[in-house]
Structure 1
């Protein structure tokens, strides 16, 4: 069969078209590529959210498909509107490249101690309102400037110094032979920075009446990608979104479970609502459940057991969506009089922000040439403020799992554990027999009693000690929604008879926001 492929003329679009061409040739077809210029290619000086209509990277290609100028259109699936012209269908999709976002960063603008590794007050280029709303949540000090053009053009603008960093789909960087030179590449996990629905997948669009070609496309179709991408696209359709709407959706499959992550806001200047849900893959109503949950928010009162300043992400985001938030730490931290152990150690492992602050206040040079591990992103951020980049960062709310990961890296070494006098030993207990652990209590946690907490429908606890302090003065009724920042806090709640606890997927403000919005 002779097949004409219609595609845009950018380097990335041509890579995609040639990829499909090769697959079709392998099963015996003669294939040619026709380049078609779209509205999105012609208008380069306007941000995506200012362009009218949807499908401005696809309409002209679809017109040629309907007019039988071409037989097959190859699209970046994320660029396709959810409603197709009558007579056209998606006959299949490709295997999915990594759907993550990434930042390309100029060397002089790279700062590994900052979130996303971009220097303070850096300029990041993107014209996506979805990316802008999430970037502002993670880094409110940065400036975001519009960025248009094909991928090589964007990279050249970065090299020319117009930006400190630019954000791109990681799939495009992987697919193209880009000359990155001394640029840093920072990949961002898709469950942390939520990509566009179907990012990384190619869509194969044909005329509905072309049954012969439809049968051939099935031979190169990837049904596994189709399952997760199908959920993402259906959520987008139900939200009635497109390139102009700040909606990120990512779906991943683990055995028989589908995990869905959503980031949604009304504009690029508004902080994103974050959602995470887990579903049985056999469910056929996942998308409608997600959309109903996100659209059916019921803002209420929230108490969180930590002090909040006006710039706190948890406070700002919930307040923007109509929640009433009160924050107060129920514990006090008192440094202990200590001296460093005389034993030599290879690692220092910090399990709290307090441990970092007190340790380096007392021993500012003790970590020279010593490897450092931290329990998670929150503790890492305090180290970063001291211009220290840790060698190990935990990425789970389960401290036992963090300990297991750390034990592999520290096997056979000596590890110093600065900690609270009565702190838990979940990480230390996972070390191998060949590893030596040095307990080093440097502060003690005392429970406050001089607090009054307003009546709140949602209670968020950030440590076992805060749980203990709260329960010295208050009971927790069964009708309260109770959130824990991690597994050790969840365990403390359960030991006090509290049931139906929601535990944050990530032990930070983003994870807690997901948990609140998912109630």
Structure 2
């Protein structure tokens, strides 16, 4: 192909980075190109929320008009800005690799409180113009307030630096592409499993004229087909929800081996608590339609739920279930008791990591007020253990966010391989994570508590039964007369599921993440 390609781009630093990235990709396959800067409507509407702009063409219309007029050959877009249907005469010829779709939470250092989830101080002011981000953040931190945040990425960061907000939320992709210095902020990454991103977040779309088949064929050399497949599901869900720009909607799809994993978060408006759905499947045939159907169906067949844990009224799980008017029976079937009051502090001098399998492990370890060397890093299983660790002023360096202990061990191994790891745990622990890591670490077990079954277990007739630990399963099922009568069963992790199987029960659901968000997703999936 001999002609020089004219690339159309907005003029912001991020848009120009994206255009130059595509330009370098074209040069790598032998295409010469130049960049033409085009101003869009979205660059002029400084007082209108992004939630009213994204996905409706405010950042793309002028680029598309120049494409149709022939003054440019290729437009580079942030894919999430595009309407779900291309204008007549245009098409998406290729998509880029996907930059990390994680959200970044930047907190002014004067307003950090690591004891609280997401580390923003109580009643903090968070800057974002995304309804999707507001709704999901509010579900985790109902005390915070939000204010509109406009401008390009450097401008938004400077507003935080100037103290206009206590914290702001940005897409990690944009910050990473610009290589911005964030050293004067407290920075936390919010995993896409925790805060579900916008459909196609982190992906660039290369748009051309529909009749330009020559350019289309050449662009297939830089088209990421795997990304196109996964974001195709996300964008189809967005389309089925009628565009979704006014609806706080997040969709994230990833492929793990032969399996597609899809997370959806949807609220009716900014005052609604988001309903989250997780689906894992080997086939994408009809998958977006299946997601839409689940949200549209009336949830009236399940009336009650049992969970083997006491819930506070302000817990995420309790608030997530309020809209479904379920009768909730929350009671633990076990009690925990500390079994040591002190240990040889010399142990900690030899340790590189401390890993907690449960909130009880965290609580009973810190009850002894250990003096912890600064070099030690912390790992936890699930966000419940993370929050307990935060209560002691520590932020974990690793959070296992899967209900499958094998996946957690796989993700943890690069951090701890060849290291010495201390495991504060229950007496007679199953040692699941240690068994998975095996001889690749130097492990030290530290029993700090034991569990005892309560005397009055009782049988529940709830429609959904949730077991939060192997000990609770054992306490409930040790009476051979106990059976599940058409009840749906959720086990918070694989170890808990294995304990169910020991009692001959195999028909259960494991949430993707071993925490209250994962439990809420699993319950919504069963309703």
Same fold? TM cut 0.5: yes
Match in the other structure for 1:510? 517
The 5-angstrom pairing of residues 350-499 of structure 1 reads 350-361=356-367, 363-365=368-370, 367=372, 371=376, 372-390=378-396, 393-399=399-405, 402=408, 405=412, 409=416, 411=418, 413=420, 415=422, 417-419=424-426, 421-429=427-435, 430-432=437-439, 435=442, 437-449=444-456, 453=460, 455-471=461-477, 475-477=482-484, 479-499=486-506
Match in the other structure for 2:140? 138
Match in the other structure for 1:83? 85
Secondary structure of the 1:287 match is helix
Secondary structure of the 2:504 match is coil
Answer whether contact 1:294 1:517 (CA < 8 A) is retained: no
Match in the other structure for 1:264? 266
Shift of 1:286: 2.3
Match in the other structure for 1:312? 315
Q: Name the CA distance, whole Å, in 2 between partners of 1:355 and 1:213.
A: 59
Match in the other structure for 2:295? 294
Aligned CA RMSD, in angstroms, stands at: 2.9
1:275 to 277, 301, 325: 277
Cα displacement string for residues 279-333 of structure 1 (whole angstroms, at most 9, x for unaligned residues): 225x432222222233335242222111112111111112124444332222233
1:70 aligns with 2:76: no
1:240 aligns with 2:246: no
Match in the other structure for 1:224? 226
Answer whether contact 1:128 1:243 (CA < 8 A) is retained: no
Q: Name the CA distance, whole Å, in 2 between partners of 1:515 and 1:315.
A: 14
1:176 to 152, 175, 178: 178
Shift of 1:394: 3.5
Q: Is the alpha carbon distance of 1:39 and 1:391 closer, same or farther for their aligned partners in structure 2, counting shifts above 3 Å? A: closer
Q: Give structure 2 stretches of 5+ with no counterpart.
A: none
Answer whether contact 1:407 1:431 (CA < 8 A) is retained: no
Answer whether contact 1:476 1:498 (CA < 8 A) is retained: no
Cα displacement string for residues 471-519 of structure 1 (whole angstroms, at most 9, x for unaligned residues): 3677343522100111121112111222211011111001111111223
Q: Name the CA distance, whole Å, in 2 between partners of 1:417 and 1:52.
A: 47
Q: Name the CA distance, whole Å, in 2 between partners of 1:98 and 1:52.
A: 19
TM-score (norm 1): 0.89
Answer whether contact 1:483 1:504 (CA < 8 A) is retained: yes
Shift of 1:458: 1.2
Shift of 1:462: 0.8
Q: Is the alpha carbon distance of 1:223 and 1:458 closer, same or farther for their aligned partners in structure 2, counting shifts above 3 Å? A: same
The 5-angstrom pairing of residues 191-206 of structure 1 reads 191-206=193-208
Match in the other structure for 1:121? 123
Q: Give structure 1 stretches of 5+ with no counterpart.
A: none
The farther-off stretch of 253-262 and 468-477 is: 468-477
Shift of 1:151: 0.9
Answer whether contact 1:412 1:432 (CA < 8 A) is retained: no
Answer whether contact 2:126 2:168 (CA < 8 A) is retained: yes
Shift of 1:5: 2.4
TM-score (norm 2): 0.88
Q: Name the CA distance, whole Å, in 2 between partners of 1:370 and 1:185.
A: 20
Q: Name the CA distance, whole Å, in 1 between partners of 2:463 and 2:25.
A: 56
Secondary structure of the 2:97 match is coil
Q: Name the CA distance, whole Å, in 2 between partners of 1:295 and 1:109.
A: 40
Answer whether contact 2:416 2:441 (CA < 8 A) is retained: no
Answer whether contact 1:125 1:145 (CA < 8 A) is retained: yes
Answer whether contact 2:253 2:263 (CA < 8 A) is retained: yes
The farther-off stretch of 142-151 and 393-402 is: 393-402
